[in-house]
Structure 1
Amino acid sequence: MVPGHAATLRWALAEAFDDPSLEVAFPLDGAWVDAHGRPLALPPAGNGRSVSRVHDSGRTVAAIVYDAALDARPELVQAGVAMARVVLDNQRLAAEAAASLAEVRRSRARIATSAERERRRIERDLHDGAQQRLVALRIELELAEELVLRDPQRGALRLRELEQEVQDALDELRTLAHGVYPPLLGERGLRDALQAATARSTIPVKLEARDVERYPPEIESAVYFCVLEALQNVLKHAADTRHTLVRLDGSVAGELLFSVHDDGAGAPGGVIRAGAGITNMRDRLAAVGGHLAVRSSLGAGTVVRGRLPTVRVPDLS
């Protein structure tokens, strides 16, 4: 517990018990400390001091040390223990909420960094690749135009040759755009976009979708890229996979669930190392208020499950 909050709790209980000598002790590494973190020994029975322990979910979270004369007022002691339990539980919930908020902010920061790195890569590839190709193509078209004026037959032949170069330039631009935001996802939604993506997969993939509708772009994007990341992991780490099942489930009110289940060898001991792929998926979902779970069993493959709200998450930056 935060020292300032612990001191406030001790003061409030001392006031309620009308016992200025009251102390609140907290368990720490097999010993006890007071509200300021100093070591505190619980008194033995029969020395004029009593101890009431505060339990939460079956574990001791604090102990109240007070004047033994107050044992004659058990209702007061019980009320004090109950108050301490509520205060400590509220502090625990607040700490968990703060930790979750901090993790969401860290996830969003990682996503922003990754997005900026990807933007620079695309910018570099456009400059070094597609842009140079287009500049060269423009020059070739100008030369072909002059050739048409001098020799129409040779000029027409050259223009037909340039058609393939135009197609190559388009293909390069599409390659660069892949992974930014697929047009099909924006136009027709998750089901169709993932159907098209799984159809292109080099491993056998079956897609099942239940009650899937249109969702905010950030929700659809998070699920889409998480599924692709999970399929990429299957390709890299489960080469013996014969079947992979992708499920989308929008039947739960206010939530969208997805899973990617392969029938590969699975991880020994069910231990999955959280590499870049899993971290990316967790970050994507955390940024929209979602959660990721990964389970692997030796001989039974790996399952990646995601759950996220279908409403926009408030900006926490």
Structure 2
Amino acid sequence: MSFPSASPAAPATATAAPAAAPGAPRPTLLGALSYLALSLWIAIVLFVVTVTMLALSLGLLPAFLLGVPLLAVTFWCVRGFAAMERGRARALLGVDIPAPGPAAPPGTSFLRRLGAQLRSGAQWRQVAYCAALLPVSCLSFSIVFSLWGTGAALFTVPAWSARMDRDALPLLDEAWKLGAWTACGALALALAPAVTQVAALVESSLARALLGRDERAALQARVGTLTETRAEVVAAADAERKRIERDLHDGAQQRLVSLAMSLGRARGKLEDDPQAASRLLDEAHVEAKQALAELRDLARGLHPSVLTDRGLDAALSSVAARSPVPVRLDVDVSPRPAPAVEAVAYFTVVEALANVAKHSGAREAAVLVRRVGPRLLVEVRDDGRGGADPDAGSGLRGLAGRVAAADGTLTVSSPLGGPTLLRAELPADATTPDPSRGASA
């Protein structure tokens, strides 16, 4: 079993570069001219492909099996066009347009992803851009290149009209007319650069408005996610408190009660029956060691001290050594992430390995933890029977909530028959509440 290379995936929560501010410097003249020259021909392709495929897919929607795949292909093409246009604006105009986030999280089924795209405002804005670029670019192309061409033609009137019979042309038969046309050409050439840059900014503004991220919608989605994850963390903390109370009552407390009773009986027999008292003291010693073991396990479930003292490598080595399923461990997180992120990564691996031992029937598992730039990548793979589904109400939903509370993403790939791959990406240096108080595996 081997892991893929630890390359950062494009997470829903990745931070994109900010869009160019409205007061950003104007693009260079060469960049603006190149952008406008390409726009018309690109706009024709975008308009024809998008409108044709969208009309055909919508027309075939009553025939479900034909319309739905074609609509998915249409949206895929539109997203590709949008990415190309963002790249063109960045390369030629220096305008950085942040891409909108995915309409559905990774791992979503085809129909759910298509439904999310149908409801996505960002997706339909990209479609609108492919349709709107053609009339805008036609107008920009006509104005800009007509101004450049007319200006060049008028400015060079004295040169090219010298080969003609000016007396036969009323507009060129006098010297002052030649001077007037030359002056008009010079004025047009003087205005052309500014008009070119303004036209390029108009088209880039259209791209920014329709291809960029909707900051208001993104903020609303972020608030909704934080509200949901906060509720999950509160519920998880309450469940954890109840678990601790139950474990203390049913385990360590009962051991301590039995220990106290054994010590009391031993004290009563110490003078009359020293041998019986000795046996009772032996029993009390065993009870004390079992109580200490249960308290140690309980403390480990809250937040292991080795994680704080020595980091993820040592803490996960201990987890792997205790796992009933053989685990191969590969940890490289230098420099150490934030403590709260370490805790999330630790409990993600603990929960995943617990699920492997309980449900997967796997012969072996492998854990990969890597720091990749500003992100912490956690992967747990097993060769079990597969079929793990976070939507089925399993512990994976609680684990996804724990990861989301730390501003991370969790994806699970588990086809029937296996293998199963759980992948979590976390911001390595994020400042988040310690999620070790959340739900336990």
Aligned match of 1:262 in 360, 382, 391? 382
Task: Trace 1:1-317 onto structure 2 (pairs within 5 A).
Answer: 59-60=127-128, 82-88=204-210, 92-239=214-361, 241-250=362-371, 252-267=372-387, 272-274=389-391, 275-297=393-415, 301-313=419-431
Is residue 363–residue 384 contact of structure 2 (8 Å, CA) maintained in 1?
yes
Higher relative contact order at CA 8 Å, sep ≥6: structure 1 or structure 2?
2
Q: Distance in 2 between the 1:211 and 1:162 partners?
A: 44
From the two aligned structures, give the one with the greater strand fraction. 1
1:214/1:141 CA distance change after superposition, 3 Å: farther
User: What code does the residue aligned with 1:245 have?
Assistant: A
Is residue 190–residue 220 contact of structure 1 (8 Å, CA) maintained in 2?
yes
- SS of 1:304's equivalent in the other structure is strand
Structure 2: segments with no counterpart, 5+ residues: 1-53, 56-80, 84-125, 145-194, 434-441
1:73/1:212 CA distance change after superposition, 3 Å: closer
Residue 87 of structure 1, CA deviation: 3.8
Is residue 289–residue 313 contact of structure 1 (8 Å, CA) maintained in 2?
no
Runs of 4 or more consecutive aligned structure 1 residues displaced over 6 Å after TM superposition:
70-78
1:149/1:214 CA distance change after superposition, 3 Å: farther
Residue 259 of structure 1, CA deviation: 0.6
1:56/1:246 CA distance change after superposition, 3 Å: closer
Is residue 313–residue 332 contact of structure 2 (8 Å, CA) maintained in 1?
no
- SS of 1:207's equivalent in the other structure is strand
Is residue 230–residue 277 contact of structure 1 (8 Å, CA) maintained in 2?
no
Asked which structure has the greater CA Rg, the reply is 2
Q: Distance in 2 between the 1:213 and 1:144 partners?
A: 55
Q: Distance in 2 between the 1:164 and 1:281 partners?
A: 36
Could you state the TM-score of these two structures normalised by the residue count of structure 2?
A: 0.50
* Identical columns (%): 37
> Which position in structure 2 is the counterpart of 1:43?
none
Post-superposition Cα deviations, 1:112-160, rounded to whole Å, max 9, x if no partner, equal 2112122122113323443243234224313322432444444333212
Q: Distance in 2 between the 1:299 and 1:155 partners?
A: 58
* Aligned residue pair count: 254
Is residue 185–residue 192 contact of structure 1 (8 Å, CA) maintained in 2?
yes
1:211/1:126 CA distance change after superposition, 3 Å: closer
Q: Distance in 1 between the 2:398 and 2:328 partners?
A: 23
Structure 1: segments with no counterpart, 5+ residues: 1-28, 31-54
Post-superposition Cα deviations, 1:207-259, rounded to whole Å, max 9, x if no partner, equal 112244543331111111111222233234431x3331111112x23322111
Residue 260 of structure 1, CA deviation: 0.8
Post-superposition Cα deviations, 1:53-98, rounded to whole Å, max 9, x if no partner, equal xx9555215869x9xxx99968788765643543455662331243
1:222/1:143 CA distance change after superposition, 3 Å: same
Residue 265 of structure 1, CA deviation: 4.1
184-193 vs 218-227, greater mean Cα deviation: 184-193
Q: Distance in 1 between the 2:239 and 2:418 partners?
A: 37
1:295/1:142 CA distance change after superposition, 3 Å: same
Q: Distance in 1 between the 2:275 and 2:233 partners?
A: 55
- SS of 1:256's equivalent in the other structure is strand
- SS of 1:59's equivalent in the other structure is helix
1:152/1:183 CA distance change after superposition, 3 Å: same
Is residue 261–residue 303 contact of structure 1 (8 Å, CA) maintained in 2?
yes
